[in-house]
Structures are given as structure tokens and as C-alpha cells.
Amino acid sequence: MAVVNDHTVKAFDEDINRLRGLISEMGGRAEQALLQAMTALSKGDLALAAQVVEGDKKIDALEAEVEQLTVQTIALRAPMADDLREMIAALKIVSVVERIGDYAKNIAKRVALMDQTRSIESIPVLMSMSAIVAELIHDALDSFAARDADLAVRVTVRDKNVDDFYNSIFRTLVTFMMENPKYITESAHLLFVAKNLERMGDHATNIAEMVYYVVTGERMEERERGETPEDSATAEKEQG
């Protein structure tokens, strides 16, 4: 059993700081991966796309490092309830960040499948959507680093814009497909890109909700957050 003394407390603080540093690095890399994947998509830059795919390994490695450090810290320092809850939240947050990285990788992998697609009119809208999503990811992780519950709430509110973007892009792409059947495959890939971005926004919201819970001890109001696209059935259905 660990004995609680000044030494233990100091060692624990050091572990927590190292943990926060790792999470912050991981978040920065995931945000970067998203922006690079979208640049690669819009420019058809296969080398940049390959770089995103390769870079995802580092994000996965950081997750494994956080996990190991967390388990080690819990085992050695036996933290009290509040600290323990923060460490568990950290574990959950990195698993979400890892998934955000996977979505970026998935977008990057589609670049090779879309050489005829750069002229599709939805690309600029997807770029705008991705800029908002990158901001949400950034702010969600900032809210964790700063233990800022207000910022966390603002992330969940702004995720509504992402959902609106998704619904609009879905409609535009479906119309485009009807008018340009020979671009159906490329458009289907862009539908998935839009969906990935929408999911990344949801994940930023998930992080924000966890932060809110760790900081305030309460669950975030149900809900500020807005509907998922499949909730707003009419929006997609209009095109049927």
C-alpha cells in the first residue's frame, strides 16, 4: 500500500502533469491530422494523405502511453476519489481522441479514391465544416486542460452548426449524384467524409461532456446539444 506523504503527493502531481502534457500533444496531433487530411483531399495530395495515415501510429502510441501511465499511477499512488475520477476521465478522453485520429486517417485514405472529384462543388463546404470541427476538437481539449466548464458547454452548443453543415451537404451531394451518375462513387466517398466530420464533432462534444462532469460533478443539461442528423428525419427525407 502506498503511504500518503509529501513525497507521494508531489510524485502524483508530476504524474498528472505528464498525463496532461501527453493528452494535449495527442489532441494537437489529431487536430493537425484532420486539417492535413482535408487539405490532401481538396488538393489531391497523395503524399500528404500518406503522411496523415503514417502519423496516426504516433497518436495510437500516445494513447498506449497515457493508458500505461494512468494504470501505473493509480497502482502506485492510490489516488483519492476526485483525482481517480480525473484519471479515469483522462483514459476515456484519449480513447475518444484516438478515434478522432482514426476518422482523419479514414478521410486521408479516401484521397486515393477520388482523383476526379476535386471539381465537385461540395468540397469548399466540406473544408469550412472541417475548420469548425478542428476548432471544436481544439476547444474541447483546452477545456480539459483549463478545467473550464463554460468552454465545454460552448463546444456542445457549437456542435449544432456541424450537424447543420452535415444535413446541407447530404442534400447537396444527393442532388449532385442524381444529376451526375458517373460521379456517384466519388460522391459516396464524400458522403462518408461528411459523416466522419459530423462524428468528429460528436466526439468533441463527448469530450466536453466528460470535462463538464469532472469539473462540476454534474451531467451537462439534456440538451443544449442539438439533434443528430438521423433525428432530423425530414431534412434528409425531403430528397427522397
Encoded one letter per residue, x for contact with a copy of itself by CB under 8 A and - for no contact, window 58-77 reads ---------x--xx--xx--
Please tell me whether residue 81 binds a copy of itself under the rule CB under 8 A. Answer: yes
Residue 85 buriedness (CB in 10 A; 0-12 / 13-18 / 19+): middle
CB of 181 to a copy of itself, least distance (A): 5
Residue 222 buriedness (CB in 10 A; 0-12 / 13-18 / 19+): exposed
Please tell me whether residue 230 binds a copy of itself under the rule CB under 8 A. Answer: yes
Please tell me whether residue 123 binds a copy of itself under the rule CB under 8 A. Answer: no
With H, G, I as helix, E, B as strand and everything else as coil, classify residue 32: helix
Pick the binder of a copy of itself from 92, 118, 147, 223 (CB under 8 A). Answer: 92
Measured from the CB atom, the residue of 218 and 230 that comes closer to a copy of itself is 230
Pick the binder of a copy of itself from 35, 145, 157, 191 (CB under 8 A). Answer: 191
Please tell me whether residue 130 binds a copy of itself under the rule CB under 8 A. Answer: no
Rounded CA-CA distance 97/94 in Å is 5
CA distances from 33 to 19, 22, 56, 80, 217 (A): 21, 16, 8, 36, 32
Rounded CA-CA distance 91/64 in Å is 10
Phi and psi, residue 214, nearest 5°: -65, -40
Instruction: For residue 202, give every residue at least 6 positions away whose Cβ sits within 8 Å of its Cβ, in sequence order, or none.
Output: 159, 228
Pick the binder of a copy of itself from 12, 165, 170, 212 (CB under 8 A). Answer: 170
Rounded CA-CA distance 208/47 in Å is 33
Measured from the CB atom, the residue of 70 and 151 that comes closer to a copy of itself is 70
Pick the binder of a copy of itself from 109, 138, 154, 160 (CB under 8 A). Answer: 109
Contact set with a copy of itself (CB under 8 A): 1-4, 67, 70-71, 74-75, 78, 80-81, 84-85, 88, 91-92, 95, 106, 109-110, 112-113, 116, 170, 173-174, 177-178, 181-182, 184-186, 188-189, 191-192, 195, 228, 230-231, 233, 236-237, 239-240
